[in-house]
Chains A and B, each alone.
Chain A
Amino acid sequence: MTYFPDEVVEHIFDFLVSHRDRNAVSTVCKAWYQVERLSRRSVFVGNCYSVLPERVMTRFPGMKCLIVKGKPHFADFNLVPHDWGGFALPWIEAAAHGCPGLEELRLKRMVVSDESLELLARSFPDLKALVLISCEGFSTDGLAAIATHCRSLRELDLQENEVEDYGRQWLSCFPDSCTTLVSLNFSCLKGEVNAGALERLVARCPSLRGLKLNRAVSVESLTRILDRAPQLVELGTGSLTVDHHSEAYRRMINTFHKCKLLRNLSGFWDVDPRCLQSVYPVCPNLTVLNLSYAPSIQGADQVKLIRHCFKLQKLWVLDCIGDKGLAVVASTCKQLQELRVFPSDIYGTGTAAVTEEGLVAVSSGCSKMNSLLYFCHQMTNAALITVAKNCPRFIRFRLCILDPGKPDPITNQPLDEGFGAIVQSCKDLRRLSLSGLLTDKVFLYIGEYAARLEMLSIAFAGDSDKGMIYVLNGCKNLRKLEIRDSPFGDAALLENVGKYETMRSLWMSSCDVTLGGCKALAAKMPRLNVEVINEGDESDEMEENPSDAHKVEKMYVYRTLAGPRNEAPDFVWTL
């Protein structure tokens, strides 16, 4: 193969789509490394601290799309201190210097300041796509900069970010010459946008396929927008509060009738259940439905809606749908692949909403299921064993029993056998989240059977170091391991230190790992950053002269080529 001219090799590499494949071919020989790096268009950095931004820009000068992820996953649940890090600015600065051809930037769990957005906008006026997921640190001022300067923007997708709203009319900043928008999602913004500017923007973007509005957009505005853009494929509604006797409501129904291409529906903020009928005309074509932000819709109304959605592939609902509602899903949605059931009563004072019965029902009816996120009040081994048999194709299986450490309520046994059945049956399982009462045995099963597992989340589980050791020694493809409140200590941490270089990261919080153990790990593995995170309020002793026997509250270990962070805050010690 080395006798082929570079252009031929490059052409062959064009067929390699995944990052992993391209990473793999680049290690074959120097020639291939060169061809690959110069022809790489999309670069994925799973941990922003694993490599210096400049190094990425130098290696891939032709990069068009950059994807970077920042904080560890448990930051979603407030386990990572607010100012831990994950800043976007260094990446944007490096790209501005090294990759002027950048067209797409996708960031997840990063701190993005308005300053970085302004730099991005000015450095890349031809930016085509900006996607920010679970980020924070910016305001509508930063968005205004993007709208103003990026004249050929096609995609602006803001998913679940914390955005400061300064009421600035950022949407009005899109110039009249901007006609290229294909996808716009501002559902996470809290404030109002200029309705007229929004409608005009939609009217002048004939390629618009996806539009997700925020809560502040009224029904009247939605109707006018849909009138201008009946070609929408994805829609996130604004507030659906309207008197179902009114003219406005009738107009809305008529408009929905015209949206023949609609496949993906979400939003439903503040919806009056009686208005749901307006959506029925589009239901038979829907493949994606997200009702998880609509607590006002009772189970019965959710069910009425879902009965029309027989082509559904992805469904996100609240647990007030109930086990009976899930039975309807099972009988209606035969194409279902992904189901997420979120808790509507987070503080646990209400009655049980979904149990193992709902899950078993869905598994019986929907054999194509491959992705699950299920919050419930209880689960049994028998149910999990049935689910494993019914749905062997799970790729993602995340079960959250709301009461930590709760056993099978019928047998009072731990859920080891149930989860064991899942990992044995689902040979393609890549992601698993455990809950309920679990002993070391479940980890024995996971280590033995979960050969393709890449990400494992553990909480309040296990009896001893053996549990974690089974996983580290067994799961060959493990990339991310996150553990909280489990009795794993230094022996487990240090059992297989080489493993961590094959993984992206390890998170352990409220476990039995000590400072001494972390120091030992850092000493043995210089290419890992072993970060000990001390939030300091309780532990004055920690600040003075902590003994090695002191248990570490939070620890984050990751492989890196960049060495210890130089901008880490005081409470983060890199050992």
Chain B
Amino acid sequence: MEDVKGSDGLGDTELRLGLPGTSTATRSAKRALPEGDEESHDELRRTSAAKAQVVGWPPIRSYRKNSFPGRKVEAEAAAGLYVKVSMDGAPYLRKIDLGVYKGYKELREGLDNMFKCFSLELSRREGGSGSEYAITYEDKDGDLMLVGDVPWEMFISSCKRLRIMKGSEARGLNSRH
């Protein structure tokens, strides 16, 4: 797959996979600064990154914090990392548990299996261009990213939703950059 970094290039087109009307503010707990403010947009990114390093915030006693050390991991393992998967042109979405896959290869195979009926349809319509599609995902910040760039562990902890983009649109992305 070509190196298409979704984030900065697509920022202007505001490609968001959330439902219309939802903002990123409540979901990812960023400062809800007025939109259209370029500087604050950058600050949003910086504060998001720096947030994890604010000492002593939130104000919870270390004793309490230390009481649930591996809790986050346990909860995810128990509940499963279910994310929605949409495929352009498919009439309905699917849901997969990212936790059951060991890595990107297994993920692609799993998605292939799940959507092969649709991709056959698509590829026929495309005039037999084959199963050319790009797997993208929406991360915690709401940006559209190409699957495969970051280490697997980082991917599953930041992936909120998957989207399988049609070959033509994916190629369009590639050509822009």
A402–B67 alpha-carbon span in the complex (Å): 19
Contacts of A459 in B (CB 8 A): 57, 59
Question: Which of B4-12, B24-32, B125-133 contacts the other chain?
Answer: B24-32
A77–B54 alpha-carbon span in the complex (Å): 11
Query: Are the C-beta atoms of A345 and B26 separated by less than 8 Å?
Result: no
Which of A134, A378, A404, A407 makes the CB contact (< 8 A) with B57? A404
Given A345-B72, A346-B65, CB of A77 within 8 Å of CB of B60: yes
A3 interface residue per 8 A CB criterion: no
Query: Are the C-beta atoms of B59 and A343 separated by less than 8 Å?
Result: no
Chain B, interface size category, equals 20 to 34
Which of B26, B60, B64, B65 makes the CB contact (< 8 A) with A409? B26
**Majority SS of interface residues in chain A?**
loop
Query: Are the C-beta atoms of A348 and B29 separated by less than 8 Å?
Result: yes
* Complex interface residues of chain B between 94 and 125 (CB less than 8 A to chain A): none
Contacts of B56 in A (CB 8 A): 74, 77-79, 484
Which of A160, A400, A403, A457 makes the CB contact (< 8 A) with B29? A403
B58 interface residue per 8 A CB criterion: yes
Instruction: Give how many A-B residue pairs fall within 8 Å (CB-CB).
Output: 82
A76 interface residue per 8 A CB criterion: yes
Residue with the greatest number of chain A CB neighbours at <10 A, chosen from B34, B59, B65: B59
Query: Are the C-beta atoms of B140 and A349 separated by less than 8 Å?
Result: yes
B62 interface residue per 8 A CB criterion: yes
B75 interface residue per 8 A CB criterion: yes
A4 interface residue per 8 A CB criterion: no
Residue of A nearest to B67 (CB): A293
Query: Are the C-beta atoms of B26 and A378 separated by less than 8 Å?
Result: yes
A400–B60 alpha-carbon span in the complex (Å): 10
Which of A343, A403, A404, A457 makes the CB contact (< 8 A) with B60? A343
Contacts of B71 in A (CB 8 A): 295, 344
* Complex interface residues of chain A between 436 and 483 (CB less than 8 A to chain B): 457, 459
Contacts of A484 in B (CB 8 A): 56
B68 interface residue per 8 A CB criterion: yes
Given A295-B75, A349-B140, A352-B26, CB of A76 within 8 Å of CB of B59: yes
Query: Are the C-beta atoms of A76 and B61 separated by less than 8 Å?
Result: yes
* Complex interface residues of chain B between 117 and 175 (CB less than 8 A to chain A): 140, 157
A342–B34 alpha-carbon span in the complex (Å): 29
Given A348-B51, A349-B157, CB of A77 within 8 Å of CB of B59: yes
A484–B64 alpha-carbon span in the complex (Å): 21
Contacts of A496 in B (CB 8 A): none
B55 interface residue per 8 A CB criterion: yes
A188 interface residue per 8 A CB criterion: yes
Interface string of B56-98 (1 = CB under 8 A from A): 1111111111011001100100000000000000000000000
A21–B55 alpha-carbon span in the complex (Å): 39
B19 interface residue per 8 A CB criterion: no
Contacts of A352 in B (CB 8 A): 26-27, 29
Smallest CB–CB gap between A293 and chain B, Å?
Answer: 6
A277 interface residue per 8 A CB criterion: no
Query: Are the C-beta atoms of A134 and B157 separated by less than 8 Å?
Result: no
B49 interface residue per 8 A CB criterion: no
Query: Are the C-beta atoms of A343 and B58 separated by less than 8 Å?
Result: yes
Query: Are the C-beta atoms of A134 and B61 separated by less than 8 Å?
Result: yes
Query: Are the C-beta atoms of B31 and A403 separated by less than 8 Å?
Result: yes
A347–B53 alpha-carbon span in the complex (Å): 11
A348–B52 alpha-carbon span in the complex (Å): 9
Smallest CB–CB gap between B143 and chain A, Å?
Answer: 16
Contacts of A400 in B (CB 8 A): 58-59
Smallest CB–CB gap between A570 and chain B, Å?
Answer: 21
A188–B62 alpha-carbon span in the complex (Å): 12
Residue of B nearest to A460 (CB): B57
The 3 A-B residue pairs with the shortest CB-CB distance, nearest first, are: A77-B56, A160-B63, A403-B29
23 contacts between A and B (CB under 8 A): A74-B56, A78-B55, A79-B55, A160-B61, A160-B63, A160-B64, A161-B63, A293-B67, A295-B75, A342-B60, A343-B60, A348-B29, A375-B60, A377-B29, A403-B29, A403-B30, A404-B57, A406-B29, A406-B32, A409-B26, A412-B32, A412-B34, A459-B57
Excluding A77-B62, A134-B63, 6 further A-B contacts by CB distance (< 8 Å) are: A134-B61, A160-B64, A347-B72, A378-B26, A404-B57, A409-B25
